[in-house]
Structure 1
Amino acid sequence: MTLYYTLIFGVLVAEMTMFILLMLPVPSKYRRPVTLALVKPFEQPQIQVAVKCVLVFILLLFVDTINRVYKIESELNVNPVAASGSDRAEVLSRKFYAQRNMYLTGITLFLTFTVFRTFHLVSELLTSKEVYRADPADKNQIKKEIAGIDAEIASLKERAESLQADM
């Protein structure tokens, strides 16, 4: 594996570690410091630019590997019978490496977006928990809103049943 695919594999391992740390079922008082510690380095503008450049580089490698897999596949389809055994083995070997690199870069890009979305969901959950725990007056207001919405749902269900009975 070349150096840049080894580095991409390192990025993939780091993303998997971050994803596991975000998904561990730990209490909120421990989750908040872990989440803040994970995101703190990425708040600096220099790091954000570097991460975006790395993601663009990985995207370019992904597109390149897709083209390479397509070329190798077309090479195999052009003349599959006339190729000798050693030539065919060499082409299949190149196809394997191209597919491996395509899957490596693709899953790295996918996991990047998954980790970012998961982080935003976890941070939103933590802020919602803080707001809910902070003000008891808001609890009563939220409970009233929930009761009003439940009553509206019940009335809509009754209307739907009566409309269905009329049909």
Structure 2
Amino acid sequence: MTLYYSLVFLLLVFEMAVFLALIIPLPFTIKRKLFAFISESPIIAKLQYGLKITFIFILILFLDSVNRVYRVQQELATFTKDGATVGAAHLGTDRMEVQARKFYSQRNMYLCGFTLFLSLILNRTYTMILEVLRLEDRVKFLDGDKKAGGKDSARLAEAGSVGEIGALKKELEAKDRDIETLKKQCEGLTAEYHKLGDQVSSSKGDKNEKKSL
């Protein structure tokens, strides 16, 4: 197995581990805090962005493996026709080589396909669990549970996808930095304005002194 297909396999194992972690039964309070943390974590936001790019490359590998399977299938059909006329013993080695290539191509196709399919399942599962947590929290709040409807619930209500709040926090930090830069520029312009004002007033004072003399 080549390096990139080995990485795809590791990603598939990682997705299976994440899926098992999502479906593990946990107390409602712990699960609510956990998903609230995931929703606002900037690290999860960066990981999500990196995985999106990775899945694009996996999709390309999947399409390439499908093409290879089709081409190998065509070669096998050609060998079958030639074997009927030339003889199976003459083409046995070549046929085994083509069958081995077919096996590896099919393996790579299934590996990439299952990885992409499991990514869709993970996304849907996470969204459904978020929705269930919101509804459970809403029911508890309507039943008079004072612990329901707190900060974690508000965070879950605002979390549309993994790392959405973290991404918004990064945008807010960038805007804060821009505001600080503008403040510094404004302070510099104000200092220059006062400096020019002092120079103008001093020059006027010198002119008045000369006139009085």
The TM tier, using the shorter chain, reads 0.7 to 0.9
Per-residue CA distance 1:27-66 (angstroms, 9 max, x = gap): 212323444455546652x433321110110000000000
How many residues were matched structurally? 136
Aligned match for 1:112, one of 103, 113, 119: 119
Amino acid across the alignment from 1:116: N
Quote the Cα distance in structure 2 between the aligned partners of 1:94 and 1:122: 42
Is residue 58–residue 116 contact of structure 2 (8 Å, CA) maintained in 1? yes
CA 37–95 in structure 1, closer or farther in 2 if over 3 Å, else same:
farther
CA 48–86 in structure 1, closer or farther in 2 if over 3 Å, else same:
same
CA 67–14 in structure 1, closer or farther in 2 if over 3 Å, else same:
same
Identity %: 40
CA 65–35 in structure 1, closer or farther in 2 if over 3 Å, else same:
same
> SS state of the match for residue 21, structure 2?
helix
Is residue 18–residue 38 contact of structure 1 (8 Å, CA) maintained in 2? no
Is residue 58–residue 112 contact of structure 2 (8 Å, CA) maintained in 1? yes
Greater Cα shift, 25-34 or 81-90? 25-34
Quote the Cα distance in structure 1 between the aligned partners of 2:42 and 2:93: 50
Partner of 1:132: 139
> SS state of the match for residue 18, structure 1?
helix
Normalised TM-score (structure 2): 0.59
Report the Cα offset of residue 78 of structure 1: 1.5
2:30 is aligned with 1:23:
no
Partner of 1:10: 10
Alignment of 1:36-115 (within 5 A): 36=36, 40=41, 43-44=44-45, 46-80=46-80, 81=83, 82=86, 84-115=91-122
Report the Cα offset of residue 136 of structure 1: 3.0
- In the alignment, structure 2 segments of 5+ residues that lack a partner are 145-213
Normalised TM-score (structure 1): 0.74
Is residue 22–residue 35 contact of structure 1 (8 Å, CA) maintained in 2? no
- In the alignment, structure 1 segments of 5+ residues that lack a partner are 138-167
Report the Cα offset of residue 133 of structure 1: 0.6
